[in-house]
Structure 1
Amino acid sequence: MVKLFESIAFRGVELGNRIVVSPMGMYSADNGYVTPFHLVHYGKFAMGGAGLVFVEQTSVSRKGRITNGDPGLWEDGQIDGMRQIVHVIKSQGSKAAIQINHGGRKSSQQRAFRGNSHLTDRDIEMGEETWVPTGPSDVAFSDGFQTPIPLSKDGLTGVRDAFVATARRAVLAGFDVIELHMAHGYLLQSFLSPLANFRTDEYGGSLENRMRFPLEVTRAVRAALPSATPLFVRISATDWIDGGWEIEDSIVFSRKLKELGVDLVDCSTGGNLRAGSTNANLGRGPGYQVPFAERIRHEAAIATGAVGMIRTPDFAEKILQDGRADLIFMARQMLFDPFWALHAAEHFGLTGNFEKWPEQYAWWLAKWGGALRANGESLDGLERYREAAE
């Protein structure tokens, strides 16, 4: 049995396989509203056979956006566009997920594909909005970022309630899975990390205090969701910086998340800085983040998702067979090959007559593929895809 194509259930949602399209910021929304680009973007991944397709980090408030191009669900009018995306994803047999987020001290920046820098006077003249971000403390993320305003206790309550309201709108839009973004230096992760949180009240200092607000948000969102709706959390398992958040902290935190009803921890890393620092301990390579998913899965006894340069079907399958994670999250490889899941099924010999492909495609491929096979040729193009991606 190929584990990559085994079904798996979380609460009332069953995924047809273990392949997940990670949330990837496209920064292409219009005033928080999704556009036709998003329908095409997400629809192709669902047609490509992934079991779960994530809509990118979606802001819980206008001033929680990372950029002016972030989608949002901070008002009811934004539900309909998301509902259309959900319909497209589900129409192709995938399940639909959404990651909800507050940018915190990394907010009010230019779109990544335009430089990911502070907005210039010219940007503002062209209609881009700028604002002062908020965070746990008045410490800028890095050079070129604004100094955030520390959130008051009333401000914390407002952010928590915004997450709850956004999660409820996501359910109304039809999403099967909700994920809280607690990684990459955004608001909730910045409360966790001693690189960003210098508070002296009950939300700063000790590990227990730094976990307090993210856990309050988790508890409130879990209570607002239907019992059958899974709740995932993406974390940065380590900051990759001495004196920052470490894997041991993530294990403690993941145990707390499980107690609150979280169903899976999506294990990324990094994305957080302090002035003058670099991710000095970071060494990228195929599967470089998988060990964190493995440790959390076993030591916190919670399902995990592995992410990070997982390119080939054989490698993805081995991660699952070795019990290192429960789901495989893929990002850039999916951009390169949106049909990665179907190519993986072909690689493992699971599509003898292309039955896993959309029927509109299958008959074309079967005719073409039969001729190739008759000549002893292979349809497995994954090695070519892998080499090109590297």
Structure 2
Amino acid sequence: MASNDEAIPFFIPKTSPPPGSAVELTNSTPTLFKPLKIRDVTFQNRIFMAPMCMFSCASSGPAIGSLTPYHLIHLGHPALKGASLVIIEATAVTPNGRISPNDSGLWDDLQIAGVKNVADAVHAVGGKLGIQLAHAGRKASTVAPWFGRQRGKGGVAEPEVGGWPDDVVGPSAIQWSETYCMPREMTKEDIRETIEAFADAARRAVKAGVDVIELHGAHGYLLSSFVSPLSNQRTDEYGGSFENRIRFNVEVIKAVREAIPPGMPLFYRITSTEWMEESDLAKELGSWDVEQSIRFAKLLAPLGVDLLDVSSGGNHVKQRIWPHSNYQVGIAGQIRRALKEAGQPLLVGAVGMITEADQAKEIVEGKEEAVMAKRLVEGPEPQADAILIGRQLLREPEWVLRVAFRLGVEVQWPLQFGFSGKFLKGSKV
């Protein structure tokens, strides 16, 4: 195999089935380790690695926004150890759509090679690669987190460190907070160009060999900020009513779906609630909540979206949120139930503080007692069809193999390791 036409050839023995696959599928195999097919792509299990910003790209010069050998290690290691899909961090579709000067981008053909190198590495060890296409909107041009800590405060990335504080955009001229740039309201031409930029970035991702596209519609970034009346106070067809506030997002989804092959899965990450419902500001202006997320979710499958990645928060500095185990999973389950009741085929992914084997199993299968009570009547009540694991995979890249061991599932290990999950059954993990 070769990573590209000019590269030195390399050899990696094929692990078959891919790492993290159940060696034998039976009625007792947990749903977590049953394959999931979405369009033309089959995932060997239901454990995906969530996109996480690494702020490790060049901020200027010919390598600006390009993935590096760091990303090969960061994304390749979980794929090697059984994550069926790893997703590249929020990747800007325009230069001013980066969160920080050190973010990844896919607005230029020169950036395709870095993504292709990661795709080759992930595919070589049996995994699938996704990419999260994004635009930071009014949360753009900030310094990377560690630079903010070094300076004693978070802050705006000024031009001398590669920032663009005078070219930050949003649906309206409303700051995220006093420590962020003041955005200018996007013109309709800005909106049209940004929609085209999402589609162009998707085409580049296809050329790079990516298997899945995810659109970042969460955490107060551009797509997310358009749907909320707290950040979108436009008076044209892109603001005001629910239908107007989601218009930009719908147009981006349509453009990206048309730009990618019919067999490629399309995911959408959503802020399911801003956690602002009880605030005085929301009582005055309104906010984005679970009810609107359900309404929006019911529109997605007909638009060509295959999975809704359910997250929350990030659109307002005064949000009231207390993260705890499964704090977003319940919302994912609520959305999933509503979709099933409406006969919508959209799959749902749960994310956020998923750390334990039994916890992961129950999310995609339902609690043991619920399964036993309901199976004969209506089947189990899962809360999601897949889980997305973030920081836990940073702490434990072997988390998938560890979960399989704890659930008593024999799974395929990387061929180079010289042993299998069955070998480890008598070991302590």
Tell me the TM-score normalized by structure 1.
0.90
Q: 1:10 maps to what in 2?
A: 38
Assess, with a 3 A threshold, how the Cα gap between structure 1 residues 165 and 2 changes in structure 2: closer, same or farther. Answer: same
**Residue aligning to 1:272:** 315
Query: 1:350 and 2:409 equivalent?
Result: yes
1:220-259 equivalent positions in 2, closer than 5 A: 220-242=255-277, 243=282, 244-259=287-302
Residues 128-137 or 211-220, more deviating? 128-137
CA distance in 2, matches of 1:114, 1:343: 35
Contact 2:412 2:420 in 1 (8 A): no
Q: In 2, Cα distance between the equivalents of 1:48 and 1:112?
A: 28
Residues in 2 aligned to 1:247 and 1:303: alpha-carbon distance in whole angstroms? 17
- 2:395 equivalent to 1:339: no
Partner AA of 1:156 in structure 2:
I
Find the counterpart in structure 1 of residue 197 from structure 2: 162
What is the 5 A alignment of 1:118-157? 118-119=155-156, 124-125=159-160, 127-132=161-166, 133-157=168-192
Name the residue aligned to 1:329.
Answer: 388
Match of 1:317 in 2: 361
With over 3 angstroms needed to count, the CA separation of the structure-2 counterparts of 1:269 and 1:365, relative to structure 1, is closer
- Native 8 Å contact 2:355 2:392 kept in 1: yes
- Aligned equivalents of 1:62, 1:325: Cα separation in 2: 34
Aligned-pair CA distance for 1:365: 8.8
**Residues 75-128 of structure 1, C-alpha deviations (whole Å, 9 max, x = no match):** 00100110000111111111110000000000000012322832366xx54x43
Q: Which residue of 2 aligns with 1:384?
A: none
> Normalization by structure 2: what TM-score?
0.82
Could you list the per-position Cα deviations for residues 164-212 of structure 1 after superposition, in whole angstroms to 9, with x for gaps in the alignment? 0000000111111000000000001000011100000010011111011
For the residues of structure 2 that align with 1:296 and 1:64, how far apart are their CA atoms? 29
Structure 1 residues 364 and 268, CA gap change in structure 2 (3 angstroms): closer
Which residue identity does 1:316 align to in structure 2?
Answer: A
* Matched residue SS, 1:328: strand
Task: Confirm or deny that 1:84 pairs with 2:113.
Answer: no
After TM superposition, the structure 1 = structure 2 runs for residues 47-62 of structure 1, keeping only pairs within 5 Å, are: 47-62=80-95
Query: Which residue of structure 1 aligns with residue 75 of structure 2?
Result: 42
In the alignment, residue 341 of structure 1 is paired with which amino acid?
Answer: V
Instruction: Tell me the CA shift for residue 344 of structure 1.
Output: 1.1
User: Counterpart of 2:251?
Assistant: 216
Displacement over 4 Å in runs of 4+: 364-367
Match of 1:293 in 2: 332
Q: Match for residue 375 of structure 2? A: none
**What amino acid is aligned across from residue 37 of structure 2 in structure 1?**
A
Aligned-partner Cα distance in 2 for 1:48–1:140: 42
8 Å CA contact retained: 1:63, 1:131: no
Q: AA paired with 1:379?
A: K
The aligned runs of 1:190-209 (5 Å cut-off) are 190-209=225-244
Matches of 2:157 and 2:40, distance apart in 1: 47
Name the stretch that deviates more: 162-171 or 256-265: 256-265
Taking a change above 3 Å as real, the CA distance of residues 198 and 364 of structure 1, as seen in their structure-2 partners, is closer
- Secondary structure of the 1:297 match is helix
**Inter-partner Cα distance in structure 1 for 2:70 and 2:297:** 35
Q: Deviations over 1:283-339 (max 9, x none)?
A: 211111011111221212321000111111111101111211000101010100011
Determine if contact 1:188/1:213 at 8 Å carries over to the other structure. Answer: yes
Secondary structure of residue in 1 paired with 2:418:
helix
Counterpart pick for 2:207 among 168, 172, 176: 172
Distance 1:251 1:332 in 2: 27
Query: How far apart, in 1, do the equivalents of 2:327 and 2:244 lie?
Result: 30
What code does the residue aligned with 2:311 have? S
Per-residue deviation, 1:233 = 0.2
**Contact residue 32 and residue 361 of structure 2 kept, 8 A:** yes
The count of aligned residue pairs is 363
Correspondences of 1:363-374 after superposition (within 5 Å): 363=419, 369=424, 373=426
1:265 to 1:365, Cα distance in 2 relative to 1, 3 A: closer
CA contact (8 A) 1:38 1:85 kept: yes
- 1:261 equivalent to 2:304? Answer yes
Residue 42 of structure 2 aligns to a residue whose secondary structure is: strand
Q: Is the 8 A contact 2:128 2:211 kept in 1?
A: yes
Question: Matched residue of 2:104: which SS?
Answer: coil
Secondary structure, counterpart of 2:267 in structure 1 = strand
C-alpha distance after superposition, 1:35-89 (max 9, x if no partner) = 1111111111111210111010100011111101111110001001100001111
Q: Per the alignment, do residues 365 and 299 of structure 1 end up closer, same or farther by CA in structure 2, a change over 3 Å counting?
A: closer
Distance in 1 between residues matched to 2:125 and 2:359, nearest whole Å? 26
Q: CA RMSD in A?
A: 1.7
Q: Which residue of 1 aligns with 2:374?
A: none
Question: Which residue in the other structure is 1:360 paired with?
Answer: 416
1:181 match: secondary structure? strand
Query: CA offsets per residue over residues 114-145 of structure 1, 9 Å max, x none?
Result: 22832366xx54x4333330000000011211
Instruction: Give, in whole Å, the separation in 2 of the partners of 1:22 and 1:203.
Output: 30
Q: Is the 1:198–1:204 Cα contact (8 Å) retained in structure 2?
A: yes
User: What residue is the counterpart of 2:57 in the other structure?
Assistant: 29
SS at match of 1:271: coil
**Matched residue type, 1:111:** A
Q: Letter of the aligned partner of 1:119 in structure 2?
A: V
